[in-house]
């Protein structure tokens, strides 16, 4: 790697370091995005093999070592061997779960004879509309990947092909912003069927005021970020969102737009809204808006007026609105009244079909419309993110169902063994099957649940720590060992902060 140009200011070097990147292939991004789910499934498999780990007071630390550290290494020093990392993780999972299915005939016979395993409630909390475990995992996965990347991208150990692309292309960080919007949409009140239909105009305006009020923290964070960056002359990538706009403003804009729609047009399906907004916005891009966004009104990329200065952030919000409504539609499909294993298998089929459909549509769309662009949030970008999101959800749901079946069979066999031993000791005792409910023990907080519990706070904490690290350390000059040490300490601080908040059940809600 070439040495830094010492004739440039350090800020200029940093800006050039994160600029003019072309990304990587859609396939490699999908592989990288599959590693984090694989590490979480590996963790759950280890808990199945060694239940005492799940009840340990050091559960969060164990989660950190398995999920965070492996993902961190995959995105940095092992980035050229992501296929090998994913393969090794999958093989380890298979080896851990093999003993549970060593006698395939017995397992199949148990499943056939005990049809209640297939028809019983897989996720007991679902009827209470609580967040499902695989959705919690998927949302935590997005938060963790985002937190790792926003600091790692400032070090040279982070490959440039994973960074945000300049205009067209696909990088890991390009996927992160879209998935962040969709992960919030998955558990929105509208997705969880908790919406209230307002009839009077006064009620609708009141609800809109509440929504705007809930976005005040996001707007405050966005304004604070602008003032801090301008005040301390922190490096910024202007072509990402514009001169003053940032992702916090995008989140607020998406929230307000969705509230307006659900107040006045709640009868229209979210999927239809997503398609209309995405296609309509793409049509505008094709008819001249794209040239304006890329080259400004004078064709030279100037940023004189306020609109020109923030054109990317303002107009790309339409693409994120389309993603948000797509996420609400997927969430609404998931949160239907599902109870049995077979019902959830149909849900898995639907998510898999959606993912495959998106990948096929993406190829056709890129040929007709053009390449993917996170900067424009165009139609190919929307399709790509929906495909990625449904793929991650399908991976987590399939793993959840598999582990639930293995756990049910294992608990059933253990109960039968206990019942058999009791009958030998007391032949007159009636044979009965005890419901397999794990004993409650005082365990450590689940790190994934802690991150998901305060998702936006985790995102904000990561951003603040990223800025602090860049002010203290010249990240471009840091050797690999130092970069990895700083990155690990940064993730540990962010994660343990969420752990403490979760331990005391402190939820700071902005969304």
pLDDT, position 111: 56
Task: Provide the Cα torsion 408, 413, 414, 418; round to 10°.
Answer: 140
Classify residue 169 as left (phi > 0), alpha (psi -120 to 50) or beta: left
- Report if residue 435 sits inside a domain: no
Partners of 24 in the β-ladder: 170
In tens, the pLDDT along 335-392 reads 988 877 788 989 999 999 999 999 999 999 999 999 999 999 999 999 999 999 999 9
Q: Give, for all 511 residues of the chain, the pLDDT tens digit.
A: 444 444 458 778 877 887 888 899 999 999 999 999 999 999 999 988 888 888 888 898 999 999 999 999 999 999 999 999 999 999 999 998 887 766 545 655 655 555 555 666 666 554 444 568 899 999 999 999 999 999 999 999 999 999 999 999 999 999 999 999 999 999 998 898 876 666 777 877 887 888 788 888 888 888 988 888 877 666 677 888 988 899 999 999 999 999 888 888 878 899 999 999 999 999 999 999 999 999 988 888 888 888 999 999 999 999 999 999 999 999 999 998 887 778 898 999 999 999 999 999 999 999 999 999 999 999 999 999 999 999 999 999 999 888 877 776 666 655 555 666 655 566 554 433 333 333 333 456 889 999 999 988 998 899 999 989 988 999 999 999 999 999 999 999 999 999 999 989 888 765 4
Q: Would you give the distance in Å from CA 90 to the centre of its chain?
A: 20
Cα 377 to Cα 150, 177, 250, 278, 344: the distances in Å are 19, 10, 12, 9, 32
Domain hosting 240: range is 23-417+442-503
pLDDT value, residue 406: 76
Helix axes 133-152, 480-503, angle to 10 degrees: 140
- Distance between CA 256 and CA 324 in Å, rounded? 12
pLDDT of residue 3: 45
**374 in a domain, yes or no?**
yes
Secondary structure in 3-state letters for 181-247: HHHHHHCCCCCCCCCCCCCCHHHHHHHHHHHHHHCHHHHHHHHHHHHHHHHHCCCCCHHHHCCCCCH
Assess contact for 179 and 499: CB atoms under 8 A: no
Q: Which token pair is 392?
A: 């991650």
Report d(CA 383, CA 388) in Å as an integer.
9
449 part of a folded domain: yes
How many CA atoms are closer than 13 Å to the CA of 461, on its beta-carbon side? 20
For the four alpha carbons of 225, 226, 227 and 231, in that order, the dihedral sign comes to positive
At residue 427, the pLDDT reads 55
For the four alpha carbons of 475, 481, 487 and 489, in that order, the dihedral sign comes to negative
Partners of 191 in the beta sheet? none
Helix (H) or strand (E) holding 324, with range, is helix 311-334
**What is the per-residue burial (b if ≥16 Cβ within 10 Å, else e) of 350-375?**
ebbebbeebbebbeebbeebbbbbbb
Closest among 43, 29, 170 to 447, alpha carbons compared = 43
Residue appearing with tokens 């952030």: 313
Apex 445 CA angle, 440 and 447, nearest 5: 135
**Closest to 452 in 3D by CA, of 509, 390, 393:** 509
**Residues 332 and 193: beta-carbon distance below 8 Å:** yes
Question: In terms of residues, how long is the chain?
Answer: 511
Q: Is residue 13 part of a domain?
A: no
If 0-12 CB within 10 Å is exposed, 13-18 middle and 19+ buried, where does residue 167 land? middle
pLDDT of residue 411: 64
The answer to whether position 511 is within a domain reads no
Residue 113 class from Cβ within 10 Å (0-12 exposed, 13-18 middle, 19+ buried)?
Answer: exposed
- Distance in angstroms (rounded) separating the CA atoms of residues 481 and 483: 6
Cα Rg of the chain, angstroms? 24
| Amino acid 508: pLDDT | 79
Phi, psi of 78 (to 5 degrees): -105, 20
List 340's β-bridge partners, or say none.
121
N-to-C CA span, the chain: 42
pLDDT of residue 429: 46
> For residue 8, is it within any domain?
no
* pLDDT score recorded for residue 302: 84
| Phi and psi torsions of 121, nearest 5° | -70, 125
Burial of 331 (0-12, 13-18, 19+ CB in 10 A): buried
Domain for residue 11, yes or no?
Answer: no
Tally of domains within the chain: 1
The pLDDT assigned to 443 comes to 56
- Please name the residue ranges forming H helices in 242-310: 247-264, 270-284, 290-295, 306-309
pTM for the predicted model, two decimal places? 0.89
Helices (H) and strands (E) in the chain — how many of each?
A: 23, 0
Q: Exposed/middle/buried for 224, CB within 10 Å: 0-12, 13-18, 19+?
A: exposed
Q: Which two tokens stand for residue 453?
A: 């519990």
CA atoms within 13 A on the CB side of 77: 12
CB atoms within 10 A of CB 413: 15
Q: Tell me which residue has tokens 């077979």.
A: 342
Decide if 212 is inside a domain: yes
pLDDT, residue 412, reads 60
**Signed CA dihedral, 98, 102, 104, 108: sign only:** negative
The contacts of residue 236 (CB under 8 Å, 6+ apart) are 15, 229
**Residue 176's closest CA among 452, 454, 385?**
385
């Amino acid at each position: 790697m070439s040495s830094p140009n010492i004739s440039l200011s350090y800020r200029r070097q940093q800006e050039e370091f994160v600029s003019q990147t072309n990304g990587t292939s859609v396939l490699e991004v999908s592989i990288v995005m599959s590693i984090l789910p694989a590490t979480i499934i590996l963790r759950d498999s280890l808990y199945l093999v060694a239940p005492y780990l799940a009840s340990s007071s050091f559960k969060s630390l164990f989660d950190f070592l398995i999920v965070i550290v492996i993902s961190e290494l995959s995105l940095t020093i092992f980035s050229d061997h992501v296929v090998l990392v994913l393969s090794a993780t999958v093989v380890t999972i298979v080896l851990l779960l093999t003993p549970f299915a060593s006698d395939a005939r017995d397992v199949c016979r148990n499943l056939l004879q005990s049809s209640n395993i297939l028809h019983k409630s897989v996720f007991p909390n679902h009827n209470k509309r609580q967040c499902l475990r695989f959705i919690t995992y998927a949302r935590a996965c997005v938060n963790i990947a985002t937190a790792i990347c926003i600091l790692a991208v400032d070090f040279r150990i982070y490959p440039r092909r994973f960074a945000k692309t300049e205009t067209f292309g696909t990088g890991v960080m390009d996927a992160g912003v879209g998935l962040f919007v969709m992960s919030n949409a998955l558990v929105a009140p509208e997705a969880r069927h908790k919406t209230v239909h307002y009839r009077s105009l006064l009620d609708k305006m009141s609800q809109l005021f509440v929504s705007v009020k809930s976005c005040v923290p996001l707007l405050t964070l966005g304004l604070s970020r602008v003032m801090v960056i301008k005040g301390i002359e922190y490096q910024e990538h202007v072509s990402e969102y514009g001169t003053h706009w940032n992702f916090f403003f995008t989140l607020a804009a998406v929230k307000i737009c969705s509230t307006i729609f659900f107040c006045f047009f709640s009868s229209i399906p979210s999927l239809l809204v997503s398609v209309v907004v995405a296609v309509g916005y793409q049509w505008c891009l094709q008819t001249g808006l794209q040239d304006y966004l890329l080259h400004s009104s004078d064709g030279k990329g100037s940023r004189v007026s306020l609109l020109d200065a923030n054109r990317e952030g303002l107009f790309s919000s339409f693409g994120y609105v389309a993603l948000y409504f797509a996420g609400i539609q997927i969430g609404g499909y998931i949160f239907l009244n599902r109870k049995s294993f077979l019902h959830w298998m149909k849900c898995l089929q639907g998510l898999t079909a959606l993912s495959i459909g998106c990948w096929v549509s993406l190829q056709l769309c890129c040929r007709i419309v053009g390449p993917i662009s996170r900067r424009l949030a165009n139609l190919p970008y929307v399709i790509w993110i929906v495909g990625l999101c449904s793929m991650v959800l399908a991976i987590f749901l399939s793993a959840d169902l598999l582990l639930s079946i293995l756990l049910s069979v294992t608990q059933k066999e253990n109960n039968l063994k206990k019942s058999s031993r009791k009958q030998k000791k007391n032949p007159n005792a009636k044979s009965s099957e005890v419901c397999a409910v794990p004993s409650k023990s005082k365990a450590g907080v689940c790190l994934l649940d802690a991150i998901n519990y305060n998702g936006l706070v985790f995102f904000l904490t990561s951003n603040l720590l990223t800025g602090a690290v860049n002010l203290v350390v010249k990240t471009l000059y840091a050797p690999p060992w130092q970069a990895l040490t700083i990155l690990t300490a940064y993730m540990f601080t962010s994660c343990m902060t969420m752990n403490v908040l979760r331990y005391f059940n402190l939820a700071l809600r902005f969304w």
